[in-house]
Homo-oligomer: A and B are copies of this chain.
Amino acid sequence: MSGLGTKQRILDAARTLFAEHGFPATSLREITKHAEVNLAAVNYHFGSKDGLLKELVNECIEPINTERIRLLDAAEAEAGGQPLVMRDLIRIFLEPAVRELCDQGSAMPCILSRLHHEPHAGLEEMMSDILAPTITRFVTASHRCLPHRTPEELLIRGHFMIGAMLHLLDFNCEELVPGLGINEEVISGYDFRLEQLISFCTAGFDG
Which chain A residues have a beta carbon within 8 Å of chain B's beta carbons? 21-25, 113-119, 124, 128, 131-132, 135-136, 139-140, 150-153, 155-157, 159-168, 170-171, 173, 175-183, 186-187, 192-193, 196-197, 199-207
The answer on a CB contact under 8 Å between B180 and A117 is no
Q: Are A113 and B117 in contact (CB under 8 A)?
A: yes
Residues of B near A204 (CB, < 8 A) are 199-201, 203-204, 207
Q: Looking at the complex, which one of B155, B173, B206 makes contact with A203 (CB distance below 8 Å)?
A: B206
A136 touches B207 (CB 8 A): no
User: For A203, what are the chain B residues with a Cβ–Cβ distance below 8 Å?
Assistant: 203-207
In this complex, which of A24, A131, A163 has the most chain B Cβ atoms within 10 angstroms of its Cβ? A163
With A117-B166, A131-B176, A186-B152 already in contact, the answer to whether A207 and B202 are too (CB < 8 A) is yes
Shortest beta-carbon distance from A178 to chain B in Å: 7
Given A21-B119, A175-B128, A176-B128, the answer on whether A163 and B155 have CB atoms closer than 8 Å is no
Cβ-defined contact, B167 with A163, below 8 A: yes
For residue A25, which residues in chain B have a CB less than 8 angstroms away from its CB?
119
Closest Cβ of chain B to A60, distance in Å, is 16
